[in-house]
Amino acid sequence: MRAASREALGLFLTGAGGLAFLTGLAQFVNLVPTLGWLFGVTLVVGALLFVIAELRQDRNLVRAFLELIVSGSLIFGAVFGVMWYIMSYLPAHDGFNFSLMFETPSNTRNSFVSYLKTENFDKAYQLLSPDAQNQIPDAETFQRFVKGNNWQPMTWKWTTEKVDAEHAHYVGEGTYIDKRTGIIELWLDKIGNRWKISAMNFQPH
């Protein structure tokens, strides 16, 4: 394999590995979508350059695509498997929780409103503090409570914040599912090593 092909294949595999890493991490951490786009573009550009380099060497196009599919699948599977082991298996079996290293009140805040937007009420409910869950007994009740009041933000922008070692308070403005705009306000408490939503205030008007 010539240098041009090796470099293009390396670029492609970097994109595949980066996407696998972000896919594994995104299950637990609210990530900036730009990172995914960056690795996606890297993957596509690498694939195109590899195919062009192979064609210039008069190599079989089908074989070039097969090399991309096999090598990309192996890298993606290997990296994602490692991420799954670290992020899911170890916490469940050994008590080690790698995702706590990334948890901040702003991540919890963003994850919560994102779950409301996408109607992932089970995960949103899991982010509520024990006291809040005592007031709302289960995820189904929480879903009826949110949807019944049209308290699903579609867009939002945080304007003020107050954060200390144990508590956080965020105020923002957003557009709700019924097109109304209004205030989004969240209070968070640090419980153990986790940040949880202790109170919320949605005021569409």
Q: For 129, list phi and psi in degrees, rounded to 5.
A: -70, 160
d(CA 199, CA 170): 11
Q: What is the pTM of this model?
A: 0.57
DSSP assignment letter at 99: G
- Check which CATH number belongs to the domain holding 161 and give it: 3.10.450.50
The C-alpha atoms of residue 134 and residue 149 are separated, in whole angstroms, by 20
**Lowest-confidence pick of 87-91, 105-109, 124-128, 140-144:** 87-91
Residues 93 and 18 in one domain: yes
Contact criterion met (CB below 8 Å) for 42 and 14: yes
- The domain total for the chain is 2
Q: Are 200 and 171 in contact (CB under 8 A)?
A: no
Residues 90, 116 within the same domain: no
Q: 82 and 107 in one domain?
A: no
**Alpha carbons 31 and 17: distance in angstroms, whole number:** 16
Question: Domain boundary residue among 76, 99, 122?
Answer: 99
| DSSP code, position 128 | B
Calculated CA dihedral for residues 163, 166, 172, 174, nearest 10 degrees: 150
Average pLDDT in the chain: 82
Q: Which of residues 44, 65, 99 is at a domain's end?
A: 99
Residue 152: per-residue pLDDT: 93
Same domain? For 118 and 95 the reply is no
Select from 34, 69, 99 the last residue of a domain: 99
Residues 125, 196 share a domain: yes
pLDDT on residue 14: 84
pLDDT tier for residue 199 given thresholds of 50, 70 and 90: very high
pLDDT at 35: 64
CA dihedral of residues 32, 33, 37, 40 (deg, nearest 10):
90
Checking 122-127 for CB contacts under 8 A at 24+ apart, the result is 127/196, 127/197
If asked whether residues 108 and 95 sit together in one domain, one would say no
pLDDT at 179 over 80: yes
Beta bridge partners of residue 156, listed in sequence order:
174
- Looking at the structure, do residues 92 and 129 belong to the same domain, yes or no? no
Q: End-to-end CA distance of the chain, in Å?
A: 64
The whole-number pLDDT of residue 102 equals: 58
71 and 145 both lie in a single domain: no
Whole-number pLDDT of residue 156: 92
Beta-carbon neighbour count of residue 124 at 10 Å? 22
Domain with 147, as residue range(s), is 103-204
Model pLDDT for residues 79-118, shown as the tens digit of each residue? 878 877 766 555 545 445 555 555 789 888 988 998 999 9
Does one domain contain both 110 and 177?
yes
Helices assigned H by DSSP within 85-191: 90-94, 105-117, 121-126, 130-135, 139-148
The model's pLDDT over 17-64, given as tens digits with 9 standing for 90+, comes to 887 777 766 655 555 566 667 777 777 888 888 778 777 777 777 777
Q: Where are the alpha helices (DSSP H) in the chain?
A: 3-25, 33-56, 61-84, 90-94, 105-117, 121-126, 130-135, 139-148
Q: Tell whether 117 and 94 lie within a shared domain.
A: no
What is the pLDDT at residue 202?
94
Q: Are 7 and 29 found together in one domain?
A: yes
Q: Are residues 7 and 89 in the same domain?
A: yes
Place 197 in a pLDDT band, splitting at 50, 70 and 90.
Answer: very high
Nearest CA-CA partner of 17 in 68, 86, 85, 72: 72
